[in-house]
A and B are shown apart, each in its own frame.
With several copies, the nearest count.
Chain A
Amino acid sequence: MPFIPHTDDDIRAMLATIGVERIDRLFDEIPQALRCPEALGEIPPALSESGIGRLMRERARADGEPLCFIGAGAYDHHIPAAVWELVSRGEFYSAYTPYQAEASQGTLQVLYEFQSMMSALTALDASNASLYDGASALAEAVLMALRANRRCTSQRVLVPRALHPLWRRTLATIVEPQGVELIEAGFDIASGQSSVAHYAEAAGEDEIAAVIIAQPNVFGVLEPVDALTDWARARGALVIGAVNPLALALLSPPGDWGAQGADIACGEAQPFGMPLASGGPYAGFLCCRQSHVRQLPGRIVGRTLDADGRVGFTLTLQAREQHIRRSKATSNICTNQGLMVTAATIHLALLGAEGLERVAAQCHANTAHLVERLAAIPGVEPLFSGAVFHERALRLPLPSAEVLESLAAHELLGGFALDAHYPELGPALLVCATEARTEEEMAHYADLLGRILGARLASH
């Protein structure tokens, strides 16, 4: 019996103690009519570990090892070997939520360190211990902002159209049932940037509760965060920065935006030690100023003292959470992404601010280099003039889906098809070359794309 340690003697002795003859009798409170008629025939019979290993290896191989130039919210960065060797330790991997603080100081201290690191990166006072992913963290940020902006009676939130389309969809799913109104602010088709004018136009005259600023936006373009922040604050709105945390190694952090800084920062921590893994598990982060901390959803760890005056760590402000406050909680979140945050913490400890800077700078340089090479191909050119971090949109002479398919047939993933989400742009491709891409790989991409476009255009 896989994973069940009972011997026949054990079973006999245990049944005798309980006072029943057969295990099946223990289910006698379940109405007979409801009982499963037979074994679950649709489920295949058990495999040995060796058998499932063979199957999984085959399937992992089936996914191939294409060369990846897609970014768009998930990035192929180097992950130090130490990260997952440590994260996989049973004591981290198989521990529960640290409800018994004294027996969970390892996990709790890691979370406190994570909070500290995210606070430092965003230049905000407090961080929670993770949410599901970046997109759902943004939704929680919006709900939080609505609660925190007590002076404001509206439920209107400005969302830049240049925010990742999948994030906008997630946001809508999660916040609209509570009546939140999401208002789209456009972007400049030449620069790819949002501007105060776009935000102002979208806002109109009505009261605005919160404003989202994406830095960088989905086109990789850097937004005028200071101006946007100042404008939003002047309008009485709370400012939510949706940021790539790696970019913060180089870019002004939300806490420093404009004259007073943003109120809330959120984003996807995947660039910090999390493998691409088809999209998850990743981890959403959420940081805020001290004044909003009681509206922060999710678990929070605090430093305190024990009965002997020694420093220790514990979950705190639990009265915000569902297990205490139930229907009045700041969120329904319970299980979060603890293990991924452990990875992020170790990743950040290994790299430090200077290491992150080097990674970010190399990403920036690689993408610039890639774009230069690709733009040398006839018919390919940068779509926007705005400065970027490590992604850039390109105009193509053919629909991007078609181009991507041809590239994929050569085991190269060429980028994210923007035209599917922004038809107004025409054939547009978002490319990304992280620090993990080499000169040869970029040259290979340019070479392949040149040949494919040449052949396609000739045959058109």
Chain B
Amino acid sequence: MLIHDQSRAGRRATTQAPLNPPAPEGIPASLRRRQRAALPEVSEMQVVRHYTRLSQKNFSIDTHFYPLGSCTMKYNPRACNSLAMLPGFLARHPLAPDSHGQGVLACLHDLQDILKAVTGMHAVSLAPAAGAQGEFAGVAMIRAYHRARGDVARTEILVPDAAHGTNPASAVMCGFVAREIPTGPDGDVDLEALRAAVGPQTAGIMLTNPSTLGVFDRNIEAIARTVHEAGGLLYYDGANLNAILGKVRPGDMGFDVIHMNLHKTFSTPHGGGGPGAGPVGVSARLEPYLPVPLVARDETGYRWLTEADRPDSIGRLSAFGGNIGILLRAYVYARLLGREGMGRVAEFATLNANYLLARLTEAGFEAAYPKRRASHEFILSLRREARDWGVTAMDVAKRLLDHGYHAPTTYFPLLVPECLLIEPTETESKEMLDGFVEAMTAIRREAEEDPERLRGAPWTQPVRRLDEVRAARHLDLAWSAQPQGANHGES
């Protein structure tokens, strides 16, 4: 039942608005709204009950193992939340003077330094609101760099076919053509194809390493050399930084620019889809182009740098300073881990992934890259199960929900058929991984013995499998006051 369906004309949560406001007489009638918006009219208790009960219909990291590859669902320490929500931080207006923001600016400045240290980059801007916006900023800096040198013929950004969809989309948003580079049979970028593709039109390459295939590209030095020699720059998609934290640094691999998903590696919450934070780090030559605002420190304290201080900046990505509250959470997390804790993230994420890979392979599943080490994640292909028993990766994913495990990422990367991308993260225990193996084993047995059971899954969730085709065909995107009958908004 929607909150709208609980509405009754005249019902109110009275205490939530001023009790006796004067009429807004200063506003001309011609500009006034004629009919009240059809928002629900409910009591405060109805609201509390409704959203409490809705929340219970979610899987979440606080309730379930959530081995969603590339998404890094690990424990979100509650201290990160409560300390970012301290009244002094929450009450600060974004346009308050720096004098009244020394506390928050100190945290952000420290965070810039920590991110520089872990990535080996020269400078960092915290402005991007998420990974994709970090990518946009990074590619825009590549564009600005070439333009500043009068090098305007570089119209292409190279993107391996295993890349996350945001990579080509970001390149295009920056006005480039995205050119795909194939992957070799062992999961590394196809070096020959890359060599063939680079040229004077190459502005740069966007690379994830370890890639979304769950392997570390062993030819990274050759790739860097190839692109750099062609005059292109290297972009590092740092969504998977957790895999190498404290082990190897993108700056040392030769990358010119990187974004980091703090909502992955630095464990800020995903919030059912966001917000995140996607800071960018750059080598010295790209520093002038960093998006504003940035935090600087001098004798008098901390201050925001804006366009006035940074005339060559690619500019501003949002009205204010980005997702500050998320940055504060990441900062708390980084300080809780400390120097020693950073490397442990990579170590135990990798240990868990390789253990799970070993056990699932043992259980009969096919690894997409059996000869490779798993990084923090790995891919299984269910093509044999699909061929032999007619069950898909989707069926297995849905059936896992019935076992109380969130499904891994399905059908991504696109180049592996019937794939599951599995990322356990470092915060899960061996018992939990063993439980997951048991569930997967049971499901595989069921796939053989009772494939219908899989195809009908899930059975134990608030709803059975949802009709996505219908959702797209008969668009119903908003409640409307007119009752729509049983078919809910057929259009």
Contacts and interface: CB of A to CB of B under 8 A. Distances in A.
A295 interface: no
Contact of A133 (B41, B90, B319): B319
- Which of A10, A44, A49 has the largest number of chain B CB atoms within 10 A? A49
Given A29-B373, A91-B56, A322-B166, A48 B467 contact: no
Contact of A17 (B11, B97, B355): B355
Contacts of A86: 48, 51-52, 55
A248 interface: yes
Given A106-B56, A327-B171, A349-B39, 18 more contacts: A3-B74, A17-B359, A31-B220, A31-B221, A56-B332, A81-B81, A84-B85, A91-B58, A92-B272, A109-B54, A169-B316, A170-B315, A280-B321, A321-B165, A327-B169, A342-B272, A349-B47, A358-B19
B319 A102 contact: no
Contact of B132 (A7, A305, A322, A348): A322
| Closest 8 pairs (CB-CB, A-B) | A279-B320, A46-B338, A339-B271, A90-B62, A338-B273, A279-B94, A60-B88, A59-B103
B414 to A, nearest CB: 9
A80 interface: yes
Given A48-B19, A164-B319, A364-B24, A63 B100 contact: yes
A11 B358 CA distance: 14
Interface string B117-138: 1100000000001111101100
A196 to B, nearest CB: 15
- Which of B2, B59, B113, B221 has the largest number of chain A CB atoms within 10 A? B59
Interface residues of A, number: 211
A173 B91 CA distance: 28
Interface stretch (A200-208, A230-238, A307-315, A442-450): A307-315
Interface stretch (A115-123, A144-152, A183-191, A451-459): A115-123
A451 B36 CA distance: 44
Contact of B66 (A92, A96, A119, A361): A96
A166 B316 contact: yes
A375 interface: no
Contacts of A354: 12, 17, 36, 41
Nearest to B460: A102
A174 B218 CA distance: 35
A177 B95 contact: no
Contacts of A364: 24, 26-27
Contacts of B4: 113, 116
Given A96-B272, A126-B477, A251-B27, A7 B33 contact: no
A214 B464 CA distance: 44
Nearest to B475: A302
B26 A278 contact: no
A333 B166 CA distance: 7
Given A40-B117, A302-B471, A278 B24 contact: no
Interface string A24-48: 1011111101111001111111111
Interface string A373-387: 000000000000001
Contact of B94 (A52, A249, A278): A278
B232 interface: no
